[in-house]
Amino acid sequence: MAKSPEQEHPVKAFGYAAKDTSGHLAPFNFSRRHEIVGVVTEVGSKVTKFKVGDK
């Protein structure tokens, strides 16, 4: 059985900001203000910016 995304990438915290549907705060009808926190559990061979254990 394949792992679910939650098993592969456990989320430690999640922050959500509601979107501004009026368009007054941003000209777009969507929100890009989502914050997810976790711990790096593995990296690919070409990854140089992150290492296992980074938060």
pLDDT in tens, 8-41: 666 666 666 666 556 565 555 555 566 667 788 8
Separation between Cα atoms, residue 2 and residue 30, nearest integer Å: 31
Contact 29, 19 (CB under 8 A): yes
Q: What is the pTM of this model?
A: 0.45
